[in-house]
Structure 1
Amino acid sequence: MPTLRAALLQSQGRPGSVPANLELLDAEAARAAAAGAGLLVAPELFLTGYGVGEALPRLAREARDAEAEVDRIAARHRIALACGLPEEDGGALYNAARLTGPDGRPLARYRKTHLWGPYEHTWFTPGDTALVQARLHGLTVGLLICYDVEFPEMVRAHALAGTDLLLVPTALPAPGRFIAETLVPARAFESQLHIAYANRTGHEGGFDFVGLSTLAGPAGHPGPRAGAAPELLVGDVDTDALAASRTANTYLADRRPGLYPADRQDALPGQEAPAP
C-alpha cells in the first residue's frame, strides 16, 4: 500500500470572515501540495471561526455558499481537503466537517455527535450519525470532530469498520493539553489506526487554543507534533507500518464482544442488569 503524506493546518484563520479563511485555505493548500501532501486537514469551524457566537447562523449561510470554492481549491491544487464549518439544516445548526477529494468532488460530510460545554450546547444540535467514511488514496478515511475523539467507543467503532486514517478537525482549549499529548496517541494505539488531529491556535471569543496538532500512529511512537503557534505540520501515514502494527498488536482480533456488558445505564460495573 502507498504512503500518504498529510498536512495539518494549525491556525486561527480570521474569525468571522469566510472570504479571508478561503484565501488562507487556498494558500495553505498550495504550500501543502508543494510539500508533497495529498491531504490537508483544517481545524474545527475553520471557515467561520469557532468563538464567534451570535454570528454563527449568518456565517453558516456564508459557509454553505463557500463550499463550491473549497471544492475548487482542492481541484486547483490536486489535494484532498478536510475542513470544519457550521451547517444549517431545517432550522438546526450543526458543527460539521466536510471532506473533498483531490478532483474537487465532495466525498463525505460529518456532524459532530458529542457537543462540548455550554457554548456548543447553546449554538449547535448534535449529529446522529456516528460513522462517516470515504475512500481516499487507497485508504479508508473517517471523520470525527474534537470532543468526539475523547470517547473511546467512537474511535473503536471506526477501527472495527476498517478506518485507516481518522481526520479530527479540533478546537481544543489550553486546559486540555493532556488530550493532545496523551489521549489522542493512546486512541491511535489502542484502536490501531492513524489520527490526524488538527487544532486551532490563538485567542478567540474567550477561548485560548492550545495548538499541539499531531499525526498520531498505531505503533505508539510519538508522531509529528506542532507547538502552540500557527503551523503547517506535514507527516506521513505509513500504510506498511499500519499493517505491521495490526499484526503485532492484536487488540482488535483479541476482543471478546460477547463478554462485555451492553452500553446501558442500568448495567453499571458492580450491578446486575435487570432481566429482559
Structure 2
Amino acid sequence: MPSTRIAIAQFESTAAVEANRAKMVSIVEEAAANGAKLVLFHELATTDYFCYDDGDTDHFALAETVPGPSTDALLDAVRRTGAAVLLPLYELDGDTRYNTVVYLDPERGITGKYRKTHIPVLGDTNGQKGADEGFYFSGGDTGFVLPDPIAGISTGSVICYDRHFPECGRAYALQGAQMLFVPTASYRDSIIREIWRSELQVYAFQNSIYVAGVNKVGPVLGDGVVPGSRYPGQSVVFDPRGQVLVECGDGEEIAYADVDPEFCDSVRGGAMNFFGARRPEMYASLAAPKAAE
C-alpha cells in the first residue's frame, strides 16, 4: 500500500465560529493542493477554548449538532478537494454537550465520531489556571471503537486529557489501529515543555502506531488566566518506532507527514514484538471498578 500524506494544522481559533470554519476550509484547500489526503485540527477547532471561564453558560451557545453547520461546511471542502478531515468541535446532542471529533470522508460523508472520555476538573498549578471541563462537557459514551479507515488509515482518536491514560491507545491498537489522533488545547509549562512530546512518543513506540498530536496556538483566555499566556502549538507526528516525522513551532502552521499503514504491521512483527508478548490473563486489575472516593 502506498503512503498517505497527512496534514497537521495548528491555528488560532476564537469565539467567532463562522470565521474558524472559513479558516479551516481554506486550510483544507491548501493542504489538499499540497497532496494531503487527511487533515487534522486541534481540540475544539470551531471555537475558542472557553473552559477557563468558571460557570459561564453563555458558552453553551457555541455547541452545535452533528450533522450541523460546521460539518456541512467542512464536508463541502472535503468533497471538493478529496482530502478527508478529522474535525474536533463542541457537540450538542439533545440537551447534552460533548467534546467531539467527527470523521469526514470525501465519498462517505460522516463516518465516525469520538467523544472525549476523561473530563478534567483541574486546579491551578504553579500560577497557571485550571480548566473546569466538567461544567461544559459530559463524559463521552462512544468508547474506543475503531472507525472504518479514513484516507486508507485505520485511525483512532483521543482528546487532550485522554492522552494521559495509556489504556486509550492500547485499546485502539489491539483493534488494528495504524494511527492515533490526539487533538489538544494545552498550555501548562509542566505538560508541554516536559511531557507532551515524550508522552506521544511513548504512545507510538509501545503501540507500534503513528501518533499525530495537534495543539492549538494563540492567547489563552479566561477568568484568572495570567495575562500573556499562550498556547504553544508544538504539534508533532511520530512513526511506529517513536521517531519524529514532522514537528511544528509556536505559530500558525500546516505541516505534512507521509504515513505508510503497512509499516505498522512490520514494526509490530519486528524485534520488540509487544503484541506477541502480551499476557492478558495477568491484566485483570486494569478492568477493576474505580475505587470508592
Identify whether the pair has TM-score above 0.5, normalized to the shorter chain: yes
Instruction: Say whether residues 1:85 and 2:110 are aligned partners.
Output: no
When the two structures are aligned, how many residues end up with a matched partner?
A: 266
Q: What residue is the counterpart of 2:70 in the other structure?
A: 66
Q: What residue is the counterpart of 1:51 in the other structure?
A: 50
Q: Aligned to 2:279, which of 231, 256, 266?
A: 256
Q: What residue is the counterpart of 1:144 in the other structure?
A: 158
Alpha-carbon shift at residue 254 of structure 1 (Å)? 0.7
Q: What residue is the counterpart of 1:200 in the other structure?
A: 216
SS at match of 2:135: helix
Pairs within 5 Å for 1:231-270: 231-248=253-270, 249-263=272-286, 264=288
Alpha-carbon shift at residue 124 of structure 1 (Å)? 0.9
Q: What residue is the counterpart of 1:211 in the other structure?
A: 233
Q: 1:172 to 1:134 in 2, by over 3 A?
A: farther
Alpha-carbon shift at residue 189 of structure 1 (Å)? 0.6
Q: What residue is the counterpart of 1:7 in the other structure?
A: 7
SS at match of 1:252: coil
Alpha-carbon shift at residue 240 of structure 1 (Å)? 3.8
Alpha-carbon shift at residue 222 of structure 1 (Å)? 2.2
Q: Which amino acid aligns with 2:172?
A: H
Q: What residue is the counterpart of 2:169 in the other structure?
A: 155
Q: What TM-score results when the alignment is normalised by the length of structure 2?
A: 0.85
Q: Is the 8 A contact 1:18 1:62 kept in 2?
A: no
Q: 1:104 to 1:20 in 2, by over 3 A?
A: farther
Alpha-carbon shift at residue 71 of structure 1 (Å)? 0.9
> Gapped runs of 5+ residues in structure 2?
123-130
Q: Is the 8 A contact 1:174 1:208 kept in 2?
A: no
Q: What residue is the counterpart of 2:25 in the other structure?
A: 26
Q: Is the 8 A contact 1:71 1:104 kept in 2?
A: no
Alpha-carbon shift at residue 258 of structure 1 (Å)? 0.5
Task: Give deviations 1:138-182, integer Å, cap 9, x for gaps.
Answer: 321212111112210010000001111112211121421233210
Question: 2:159, 2:150 → 1: CA distance?
Answer: 19
Q: Higher helix fraction: Structure 1 or Structure 2? A: 1
Q: What residue is the counterpart of 2:135 in the other structure?
A: 122
Identical counterparts, % of pairs = 30
Q: Is the 8 A contact 2:6 2:38 kept in 1?
A: yes
SS at match of 2:61: helix
Question: 2:253, 2:290 → 1: CA distance?
Answer: 46
Question: 2:81, 2:195 → 1: CA distance?
Answer: 32
Alpha-carbon shift at residue 109 of structure 1 (Å)? 1.1
> Gapped runs of 5+ residues in structure 1?
268-276
Alpha-carbon shift at residue 137 of structure 1 (Å)? 3.0
Question: 2:152, 2:7 → 1: CA distance?
Answer: 17
Question: 1:159, 1:266 → 2: CA distance?
Answer: 23
Q: What residue is the counterpart of 2:100 in the other structure?
A: 96
Q: 1:93 to 1:237 in 2, by over 3 A?
A: same
Q: Aligned to 1:111, which of 110, 115, 123?
A: 115
